[in-house]
Structure 1
Amino acid sequence: MFKGSIVALITPMDDKGNLCKKSLKKIVHYHIKNKTNAIVSVGTTGESATLNQNEHTNVIMNTLEFADEKIPIIAGTGSNATAESIILTKKLEKSGIAACLNVTPYYNRPTQKGLYLHFQAIAENTDLPQILYNVPNRTGCDLLPQTIIKLSKIENIIGLKDASGDLSRINQIKKLAKNNFLLISGDDTTALDFIQLGGKGVISVTANIAAYDMTKMCKLALAGNFAQARNINNKLSILHHLLFQETNPIPIKWAAKYIGLIKTSSLRLPLTPLSCKNKKILKEVISSMNLYTH
């Protein structure tokens, strides 16, 4: 259902920290033009942790409106409270979203049984396709392969965004999960290797400002043209690194503003603006790459 370059879209804000609809429309159209394969709206890169539930759904609905059915929208609906995830998911059932992306419950640090029951409960309360999201370094818990395999047997749990950094898990999950269970990288740095091992694409931070190159790289890799794909990836590798020099999405919002995709790089506390040192480094790299030319 989903493959290739899927952008983990930033949520553009004005100077007061409210949604900037004009900038959101601009970046959605940028991804349509550059043939990004899908958009994740209000995932962790979209600052879901600092948006209230009404704001959360408002950003998703505006993203859907601006996309105008030209690109699939995956909604971030994860929470560390199972009941809250269910409520948010049910609110979006008739919205037109293509799927939900559910991050593992952060801070709670549930057991594997708790993780299974959490995702099972969400899936059983909706017909929407569900994509699991494992990012242990941000959530404090790790969704292990045996739990993923068990969850894959639930009909509307269709795949996994994996940002564990452990590429050895891919083959294990592929062998024992249900047929057509999607494996999608959640890490730009290792995304090409992930695809080469059998993954179907990446949910990408870098794609926010390098949509054309990320789309092309993934398309080549999925077609088996790994040498050409690696040439593009080598070009982007410094960006993959620099965009995580400070907590995501601090660098990517500054970079998107620098190339003219969004009006301001505003964030909500407790996130703070990019340091002067990293602004200078990013500016030099981006200026040498001609990123916003497509």
Structure 2
Amino acid sequence: MSQHLEWLRGCGTALVTPFNAAGDVHEARLRALVERQISAGVRLLVPCGTTGEAATLMAPEHERVIALTVESARGRAKVLAGVGSNATAATIERARAARAAGADALLVVAPYYNKPTQAGLQAHFRAVADAMRDVPVVLYNVPGRTASNIAATTVLTLARETDNIVAVKEASGDLAQ
């Protein structure tokens, strides 16, 4: 999938999820946010990541935020959809919905709360990659939020064993890693 890496060049933005006073996703503001990012030269939009409060969204909201981002981008920017969960089956379900909505790639965070072992992380990420073979997968290592660190050896193993795990969003703060 090396041909899919060009979209990783340039500026990307982790999008907030705007809410209205009733606590619902504010669709008009999300569309405006996407438009503002693209007009500023952003080439990669990341909905439903940590910044987008993905862990607090209900499944229909999660799907709608990604769909609105894809619709609003209209091919002018790539969409790296946050699909992670602390459950592998839920992550795959979110990944399928994101792909059906037109997301270009998937951002998969380490399962949070469960504190999986490195073998558990490998099994989780491999299952997602195997279920989504037609789409690039970016691992998201943010141990301050997930309570588990994806070791460099785990990333290397996954990179060797899968064709579609193409990158890591590294947010551990450990420059040596």
For normalisation by structure 1, the TM-score amounts to: 0.56
Among 152, 160, 163, the alignment partner of 2:171 is 163
| Matched AA of 1:136 | P
Relative CO higher for 1 or 2, CA cutoff 8 Å, sep ≥ 6? 1
Deviation beyond 6 Å, 4+ runs, structure 1? none
Match of 1:98 in 2: 104
From 119, 125, 128, the equivalent of 1:119 is: 125
Displacement of 1:22 in angstroms is: 1.3
CA contact (8 A) 2:83 2:98 kept: no
Among residues 24, 28, 46, which one is paired with 1:22 in the alignment? Answer: 28
CA distance in 1, matches of 2:89, 2:102: 22
Task: Name stretches of at least 5 consecutive residues in structure 1 with no aligned partner.
Answer: 170-294
Pairing 1:126-141 to 2, within 5 Å after superposition: 126=132, 127-141=134-148
Alignment map for 1:4-19 (pairs within 5 Å): 4-19=10-25
Tell me the CA shift for residue 93 of structure 1.
2.5
- Unaligned regions of 5+ residues in structure 2, if any? none
In the superposition, the TM-score normalised over structure 2's length comes to 0.93
Preserved CA contact (<8 Å) 2:66 2:101: no
AA of the residue aligned to 1:133: Y
Report the Cα offset of residue 68 of structure 1. 1.0
Q: Which amino acid aligns with 1:16?
A: A
Deviation at 1:92, TM superposition (A): 2.5
Residue aligning to 1:42: 48
| Displacement of 1:45 | 0.8
1:90 CA drift (Å) = 1.5
Q: Distance in 2 between matches of 1:68 and 1:37?
A: 12
Are 2:78 and 1:76 equivalent residues in the alignment? no
Deviations 1:226-284 (A, max 9, x none): xxxxxxxxxxxxxxxxxxxxxxxxxxxxxxxxxxxxxxxxxxxxxxxxxxxxxxxxxxx
Cα distance between partner residues in 2 of 1:98 and 1:142: 26
Corresponding residue SS for 1:159: strand
Q: How do 1:1-294 and structure 2 match up within 5 A?
A: 1=5, 2-126=8-132, 127-153=134-160, 154-169=162-177
Q: Which of the pair has more CA radius of gyration?
A: 1
Secondary structure at 1:94 match in 2: helix
Q: Which residue does 1:235 correspond to in 2?
A: none
Report SS of the residue matched to 2:11.
Answer: strand
